[in-house]
């Protein structure tokens, strides 16, 4: 078994795939890239049992065969080569692969590819297509808001809701919630499933540079994403997603419009002086003035800033965790944002006022914190 491949093409694919590989696998075979050669096509696969990802690249070869190569060792080696053809020659007698370059020859052990987990085939899947740009945006706007609580696994992923009216993506950790909706996209059938965080972060990292459509296939247990020469199949999170609509306040008479960048910088500065345990900042709104303050009583640290704003409603004070606000503000692209509130112990709702695509709706909810006396 022998093949010749471009070092830069190989490196690009290995860097895309290596994100699936865990650092502490229970099965040693999962530390490897699976190479499946079929004449002029090399298919590379990685797996962590829950997620399996494959990519194909063209090579020069007349052979077919399967081997597994240590992922970290191979990637570290390929990174060092400038663009050039690399020849991989499998030597069965001593169970090694000889890699020949312009600079020399390198031997590394290979493993039996038959031990590698088989790719899951989805039975009776539903299908929909979505542009890579829209899917990447949906993931970016939501995945940061998902939780890390092992006791509530359904909240550790992103909830996909497909219907004939719209596509909706939701994430929450009970302190913050993001709902991203596309009314310009729809499916023939109603479908709901919860995607784990890890494969979504991998997709987010590779979709941004791709201009094509993603085909999403899904059933009750698995989902498969296919685009260009890449396929990612993952096991879905089992369980019923909480009724997120029930926690979104419907009546919010107090409305604050403020420049996003100015507000972001003020919150960032004030948070430096806030309590390291609560990260609490206080917003005080009256007329056209927004007062942002924070205090760490234990160390006598204090910050107080004023911003010009557009505010309609009763004068009010409300406290928020500055980390949650910063995450949300950093994940919006608009010049101005609208913050809607009712009373100091009910959630605040952030929405962008500009910079959205047609058919795009973004709602971010953040729970308040009790203000210090």
Domains, in order of start, for the chain? 2-115 (3.10.150.10), 126-245 (3.10.150.10), 249-369 (3.10.150.10)
Once rounded to an integer, what is the mean pLDDT over residues 282-309?
A: 95
The enclosing H or E element of 5 equals strand 2-6
Return the structure tokens found at 90: 């499998």
Mind listing the pLDDT tens digit for each residue in 65-87? Answer: 999 999 999 999 999 999 999 99
Per 3-state DSSP, what percentage of the chain is helix, strand, and coil (rounded to 5)? 25, 45, 30
Confirm if 239 and 194 have CB atoms less than 8 A apart: yes
What's the CA gap between 143 and 171, in Å, rounded? 6
166, 189 contact by CB (below 8 A): no
Task: List phi, psi (to 5°) of 206.
Answer: -110, -15
- What is the predicted pLDDT for the residue at 372? 65
Strand 105-112, strand 310-312: pairing: unpaired
Task: Answer positive or negative: Cα dihedral of 301, 260, 251, 158.
Answer: negative
DSSP state at residue 237:
B
pLDDT at 370: 85
Q: What is the mean pLDDT of residues 198-202?
A: 96
Q: CB-based contacts of 312: which residues, under 8 Å, 6+ apart?
A: 254, 255
CA angle 296, 299, 303 (to 5 degrees): 45
Burial of 9 (0-12, 13-18, 19+ CB in 10 A): middle
Write down the pLDDT at residue 373: 56
Q: What does the pLDDT average to over 303-320? A: 96
pLDDT (tens digit per residue) in 127-180:
999 999 999 999 999 999 999 988 899 999 999 999 999 999 999 999 999 999
The 8-class DSSP code of residue 60 comes to B
DSSP 338: E
Q: Report the alpha-carbon angle 186-188-193, nearest 5.
A: 75
Enter the tokens of residue 267. 């919150």
Instruction: State residue 119's pLDDT score.
Output: 84
Q: 292 - beta bridge partners? A: 283, 305
Q: How far is CA 264 from each of CA 40, 259, 260, 322, 361, rounded to the nearest angstrom? A: 52, 9, 6, 10, 21
How far apart CA 296 and CA 67 sit, in angstroms, is: 58
pLDDT top residue among 189 and 4: 4
Structure tokens at 303: 């910050």
Q: What is the pLDDT of residues 204-222, one digit of tens each?
A: 989 977 888 999 999 999 9
Q: Coil, strand, or helix at residue 292?
A: strand
Number of helical (H) and strand (E) elements in the chain, helices listed first: 6, 26
Separation between Cα atoms, residue 341 and residue 349, nearest integer Å: 7
What average pLDDT does the segment 7-25 reach?
A: 94
Closest CA to 38 of 9, 64, 15, 73: 64
Distances (CA, A) of 323 to 149, 246, 368: 18, 24, 12
Give the pLDDT mean for 174-197: 95
For residue 320, what pLDDT is reported? Answer: 97
> How many Cβ atoms are within 10 Å of 148's Cβ, its own excluded?
9
Give the number of C-alpha atoms closer than 13 A to the C-alpha of residue 186, restricted to the C-beta side.
9
């Amino acid at each position: 078994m022998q093949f010749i491949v471009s070092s830069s093409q190989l490196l690009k694919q290995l860097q895309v795939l290596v994100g699936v590989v865990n650092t502490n696998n229970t099965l040693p075979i999962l530390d490897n890239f699976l190479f499946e050669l079929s004449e002029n096509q090399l298919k590379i696969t990685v797996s962590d049992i829950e997620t399996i990802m494959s990519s194909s690249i063209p090579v020069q070869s007349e052979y077919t065969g399967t081997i597994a190569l240590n992922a970290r060792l191979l990637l570290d080696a390929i990174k060092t080569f400038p663009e050039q053809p690399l020849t991989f020659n499998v030597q069965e007698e001593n169970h090694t692969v000889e890699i020949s370059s312009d600079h020399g020859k390198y031997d590394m052990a290979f493993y039996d590819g038959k031990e590698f987990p088989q790719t899951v085939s989805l039975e009776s899947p539903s299908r929909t297509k979505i542009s890579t740009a829209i899917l990447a945006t949906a993931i970016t706007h939501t995945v940061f808001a998902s939780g890390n609580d092992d006791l509530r696994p359904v909240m550790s992923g992103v909830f996909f809701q497909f219907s004939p009216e719209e596509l909706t993506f939701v994430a929450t950790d009970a302190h913050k919630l993001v709902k991203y909706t596309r009314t310009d996209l729809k499916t023939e059938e109603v479908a709901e499933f919860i995607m784990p965080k890890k494969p979504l972060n991998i997709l987010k990292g590779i979709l941004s540079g791709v201009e094509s459509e993603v085909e999403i296939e899904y059933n009750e247990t698995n989902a498969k994403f296919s685009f260009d020469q890449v396929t990612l199949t993952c096991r879905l999170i089992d369980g019923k997603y909480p009724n997120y609509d029930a926690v979104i306040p419907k009546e919010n008479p107090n409305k604050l419009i403020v420049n996003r960048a100015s507000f972001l910088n003020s919150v960032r500065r004030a948070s430096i002086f806030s309590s390291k345990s609560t990260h609490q900042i206080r917003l005080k709104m009256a007329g056209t003035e927004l007062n942002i303050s924070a205090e760490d009583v234990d160390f006598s640290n204090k910050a107080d800033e004023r911003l010009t704003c557009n505010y309609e409603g009763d004068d009010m004070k409300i406290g928020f965790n500055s980390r949650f606000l910063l995450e949300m503000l950093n994940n919006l692209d608009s010049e101005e944002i609208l913050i809607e509130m009712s009373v100091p112990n009910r959630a605040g709702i952030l929405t962008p006022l500009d910079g959205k695509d047609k058919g795009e709706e973004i709602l971010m909810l953040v729970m308040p914190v009790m203000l210090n006396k």
